[in-house]
Amino acid sequence: MLLRRRDALRSCRPLRRVPLSIAQVIAGAQTGGAELFYERLCIALHRAGERVLPVIRRDGARAGRLRAAGLEPVQLAFANPVDFTTRRGVVGALRGFDPRVAVAWMGRAASFTPRGDWILCGRLGGYYDLDNFRRCQHLIANTHGLAAWIAGQGWPARHVSTLPNFVDDMAGAAPADRAALGVPPGAKLLLGLGRLHANKAFDVLIRALPRLPGVFAVIAGEGPERPALERLARSEGVADRVRLPGWRCDVAQLLAAADVFVCPSRQEPLGNMVIEAWSAGRPVVAAAVGGPAELIADAESGRLVPAEDPAALADAIAVVLQDSHAAAGLAAAGRKRFETEFAEAPVLARWRGFLGTVEKF
C-alpha cells in the first residue's frame, strides 16, 4: 500500500524540463545593434538554463563578456568565402556541441554554417542577400516588415518568423554631465545615437537645428560621415550647438540627460535606439521609415515625420519641447510598450518558445 502511494506521488511530480541546446553563430563587427543583441540573447538564454554555444569572429572583448557570463565561446576568423579553416571550425564546433538549433546571424555567418543534425535558422536584422541563407531551414526577422519582405522574395512564409530584440532597461540612470558634453545649463538637449553613416541621416537633424534656436544636439557615434557632418554644422551656422563625442558606453546616462531622442534615419530596419529611449522614459521623434514606422504609434508612443524633411522634424521636436504634458505622455506610452513587448522577459519567452518548437522542413 505504501509503495503504491509513493509511486502515485512520483507520477504527479512535474517532469524537469530538458534544457535546449542552441548554437549561435555570428561573424559581426565589434560594435553594432545586432552584435549587442547577440550577446544579450546568448547570456539571457544561458541564465534561463539553456545550453548555449557562442561561435564568434575573433574578438577578445566580446569573448571576455561572454566568458564573464559563464559561456565558452568558440572564436574563428570568418575571413573570406574560401576560409576553409573557419568552415572546418564551425562544423567541428557544431558536431561537438550537438545543438537542437543553430542560429546563423547575418549573411557571413550563414554562408559558413552548414546543415547537419541540427535545425539551421538564419537571423536577419536587415534586407540582406538571401542567397547567403540558402542552406537555412527557417529565417528569423526582427520586424514584421522585414518578414513580409523575405516572403516577398519567394521564401515560404510558413518558414519565416518574427522575433523582436530586447534591450537593457535603462530607467533610473544618473544623467550624463551636460557640462562635460559642452551643453550649457538649462539648454534643451536632443540626442541621436548610431553610426555616423548616411543611412542614419544625422545631416537632416543638423539641418533642423537652425529652426530650433538655443537647442543643442549630441550625436553619439562614429563613422565615415563625421567630416561631412562637421562641415554641414558649420555651413548651417550651428556648429556651436552640435556635439559629436564619438562612441559612448554610457547610453543610459546620455538618454537620462536628454530632453528628446531623435531618430532621423533614411533606412532603419528595426531601431534598437527607439526601444532604448522607450526603456529610459524619453519621448521619441523619428522619421517614418522601416522599424520606427512599425514600432511607433504617431502622437501616442512617439512622433513620426516624413524622412528627409528637416522642417517637419524641427516642427515635431518643437512641439515636444514646448508641451511638457504631451512629452510626458509620449514617454509613458513608450515605456509601457517597452515593458510589455521589448523587455528581456517577454522577448526571451518568445525566443525560447520558438527555439523549442521550430522544426525542419
List residues bridging with 192 in a β-sheet: 219
- Average pLDDT estimate for 53-75: 97
Q: Is residue 219 within a helix (H) or strand (E), and if so which, with residue range?
A: strand 216-220
Does the pLDDT of residue 14 top 60, yes or no? Answer: no
Contact 260, 320 (CB under 8 A): yes
pLDDT tens readout for residues 119-146: 999 999 989 999 999 999 999 999 999 9
**Position 344, amino acid:** E
Q: Is residue 304 within a helix (H) or strand (E), and if so which, with residue range?
A: strand 303-305
pLDDT tens readout for residues 149-171: 999 999 999 999 999 999 999 99
Does the pLDDT of residue 9 top 60, yes or no? Answer: no
CATH of domain 178-342: 3.40.50.2000
As its CATH architecture, domain 18-166+343-357 has 3-Layer(aba) Sandwich (3.40)
The sheet carrying 284-287 orders its strands as: 242-243, 216-220, 189-193, 260-263, 284-287, 303-305
- Counting residues of the chain whose pLDDT is more than 70, the rounded percentage is 95
Contact 99, 121 (CB under 8 A): no
Cell triple for 255: 538618454
Residues of the chain with CATH 3.40.50.2000: 18-166+343-357, 178-342
Contact 96, 118 (CB under 8 A): no
